[in-house]
Amino acid sequence: MENLNNLFNPKSIAVVGASEEEGKVGNVIAKNILNLGYKGGVFLVNPKHEELLGQKCYKSLNEIETDVDLAIMVIPAKFVNPIIQEAAGKTKNYVVISAGFGEINEEGKKREEELNQIAADNNLNILGPNCLGFIIPQLQLNASFAGGMPEAGNIAFISQSGALAVAIMDVAKKEGLRFSSIVSVGNKMQLDESELLEYLDEDASTKVIGMYLEGIKDGRKFISVAQKIKKPIVILKAGKTERAQKAISSHTGALAGSDEIMTAVFEKTGVIRAENMDEFLGLLKLISSSNAPRNGEVIIVTNAGGLGVLTTDAFKNKKIKLAEIGEKTQGALRKFLPEESSVANPIDVLGDADEKRYGKTLETLKKEPAGTILCLLTPQDQTPARKIAGKIIKFKEKSEENIITVFMGGERVAKAVVTLRENNISNFFLADQAVVTLDKYFEWKRNKSKMVLPNWENHPERQRKASAIIEKAVAERRSALYFSEAAEIMGMYGIKTSNFWTAESLNQIEFPVVVKVDSDKVLHKTDKQGLILNIKNQNELQAAIEKIKSNFPGEKFIIQPMQKIQTELIIGVKYDDIFGPIIVFGLGGTYTEIFKMVDFLVPPVGQEEIKDKVLDSKIKFLFQETRGQMPYSASELADILGGLSFLTQELPQIKELDINPLLVYNDGKESVAVDIKIII
């Protein structure tokens, strides 16, 4: 942490590859650092010059007499590694602007690996390569080749796209966003999102961390870091669609990752996901200037009934909701508001409302326990927008509620909007964005406050026994376990499986039964007629066994009781390329693929987290009493999923696990795993 502080708050900087040629990156960066107000020492390095841009020019980093906290490399890729190697004893922090590393080809990849090794051997911090640099407005330090200096504020913005960072800086000026830092991460060779999160969480100037990401470099590290971050993290993650994921991999070579799993990870870690750029900018604006609301109740005050109604519409499917205004407050409002006003929420103070009416209404609402007041304004001819803004600012100064505004208009509200902004009140152009972002901010607070880091401990004895079963199958060159083996492992993790018989125990059978092929070579039994249902007697059984044997010569089979089917679930473990094992659970049966009622758990997960998730999952309706139907047991399912969470931690050699169906009952009968596929 100390180290990154020297990188982002350097007392001296060297620009290696500074240039006098207009428009060249080495020229732009040198001038950005020299001319925009940075107070530290600046050294230019270029072996071809004695003097550059009016100051002394050094042949190499080592030639500089004093310490250099940070070196910015703007030289062709092939020179980067040797120069850093040479200076590694003197300078510990580097920004490698140069492209020509992992993003281009195999040679570049090798170069990047070598550089990474140099960093590790010499205890260096390296941002990039292939990045835009960074900007710390408070230090008036623009160590990037983007022009200009954003306003200093409390938003840290990390971008995996340099061009997008430049566009956002331009938008930010217009929208009044102010930054503590802007960092372009480039190839994220060494410093990736996780290190930056840790650094920024401690950075006193930063209140909110916004990130544009195309991929996450180390999924497990990201999870464990993001869970511990106390500040709000807002991520705009590109790659929702397959097409976009393809575009990402051709664009930066990053792995975009499954979007659904990304969402599950963000939920688990309390990251706020922005669905698009509009939400991203809106969230940064809101969080930058407001505290998280103390509760989810919102009061709307408007001078246009229509806008009040549209804003109410925006609360559809949100966690925040319109507050009920108490009788007493309604009475107090009625005393001074015109007769045609509405004193129920949304409160309509009418089109001719002036600053006094707005002010008095706000004062009166102070006694209400709502967390947020959403103050709407349309600029009628007689509306004193600036004066009303003044009342709102005064109100904010001495109140515990959040207040955010939507002054909807153009020229007529422009000055009022600037006044609001200068006084740290988030104004939104349109009401929907205000509601969406407020909802997400509130949800973040709720998530973070109930977040418990799982207290985890493996059971070595169980791990040893289960591993032995898997090793045996591996030794026999099988890619899947037999049912009997899978059932044994399931038993160790508290998951009850269906009773079964094999060729050896035919005489103990209780009819009706089913016969199934049991082989690692036949994984989709129904498709390939490896499953015969509803066998009622020994004759039928013999015929069924013959059928299976002739369909799958040489394979084993098992016989199971014909189960009473009430509700079928599917549960399992998938291996994700970025985040490792992920637990999946959802509705099974005929239309599994169509309804896609599936949720994800990111292990390790504690029982509390699992139960919360189950009760908030797509199949939550099973656990509620609906129209005379008895509820299913959420804690039974949570226990099974808890067992799987242990399993993922103790048996990483399992590549895939599917229980399909898991039959569950609401009549007291215990749930049972009928078919189990374990791929090793």
Residues in 231-250 that interact with a second copy by CB under 8 A: 236, 238-241, 243-244, 247-248, 250
Decide: 331 and 323 in contact? Cβ < 8 Å: no
Q: Can you name the residues that pair with 494 across neighbouring β-strands?
A: none
CB nearer to a second copy: give 251 or 478.
251
Q: List 274's β-bridge partners, or say none.
A: 236
CB of 59 to a second copy, least distance (A): 29
User: Which stretch, 60-68, 85-93, 172-180, 637-645, contacts a second copy (CB under 8 A)?
Assistant: 172-180
Paired tokens of 150: 């954003």
Minimum Å distance from CB 157 to a second copy?
13
Q: CA–CA separation, 225 vs 450, rounded Å?
A: 17
Is the backbone of residue 239 left (phi > 0), alpha (psi -120 to 50) or beta? left
Strands (E), 304-431: 321-322, 347-348, 372-377, 402-407
Q: Shortest Cβ distance from residue 516 to a second copy (Å)?
A: 17
Instruction: Tell me if the bond preceding 661 is cis, omega within 30° of 0.
Output: yes
Mapping DSSP to helix (H, G, I), strand (E, B) and coil, where does residue 301 land?
strand
Q: Is 411 in the site for a second copy (CB under 8 A)?
A: yes
Contact 293, 441 (CB under 8 A): yes
Q: Which stretch binds a second copy (CB under 8 A): 451-459, 493-501, 591-599, 652-660?
A: 591-599
Contact 375, 363 (CB under 8 A): no
Residue 303 interacts with a second copy (CB under 8 A)? Answer: yes
Q: How far is the CB of 148 from a second copy (least distance, A)?
A: 9
Instruction: Provide, rounded to whole angstroms, the least separation between the CB of residue 204 and a second copy.
Output: 28
Of residues 53, 88, 310, 523, which one binds a second copy by CB under 8 A? Answer: 310
Kindly state the tokens that stand for 491.
């038993």
Buried-exposed string 614-632: b where 16+ CB fall within 10 A, e elsewhere: beebebeebbeeeeeeeeb
Q: Map the footprint of a second copy across residues 253-292, applying CB under 8 A.
A: 276-278
Amino acid of residue 123 = N
Backbone angles phi, psi at 136, to 5 degrees: -120, 95
Find the part of the chain contacting a second copy (CB under 8 A) among 64-72, 144-152, 575-583, 663-671.
144-152
Contact flag: residue 41 with a second copy (CB under 8 A): no
List the interface residues with a second copy, window 511-540 (CB under 8 A): 526-527
Token output for 25: 């990156």
* 348 near a second copy, judged by CB under 8 A: yes
Total residues interacting with a second copy, rule: CB under 8 A: 84
Nearest to 31 by CA among 150, 149, 180, 127: 149
CA pseudo-torsion sign 274, 237, 264, 156: negative
Q: Name the minimum Å distance from CB 322 to a second copy.
A: 6
Residue 98 binding a second copy, by CB under 8 A: no
Nearer to a second copy, 276 or 499 (CB): 276
The residue among 47 and 306 lying less far from a second copy, judged by its C-beta, is 306
In the list 398, 468, 627, 667, the residue contacting a second copy (rule: CB under 8 A) is 627
On the 0-12 / 13-18 / 19+ scale of CB atoms within 10 A, 541 is: buried
Amino acid (1-letter code) at residue 26: G
* CB of 117 vs a second copy, minimal distance in Å: 26
- Identity of the residue, 152 or 164, whose beta carbon is nearer to a second copy in the bound complex: 164
Q: Mark the segment that binds a second copy (CB under 8 A) among 157-165, 219-227, 326-334, 607-615.
A: 157-165
Copy the structure tokens of residue 487.
């059932």
What is the rounded radius of gyration, in angstroms, for the C-alpha atoms of the chain? 31
Q: Does 564 bind a second copy (CB under 8 A)?
A: no
| Shortest Cβ 633–a second copy spacing (Å) | 17
385/676 with CB nearer a second copy = 385
353-392 footprint of a second copy as x/- string (CB under 8 A): -------------------------xxxxx----------
- In the complex, minimum distance from the CB of residue 122 to a second copy, in angstroms, rounded to a whole number: 31
Whole-number Å distance between alpha carbons of 58 and 64: 7
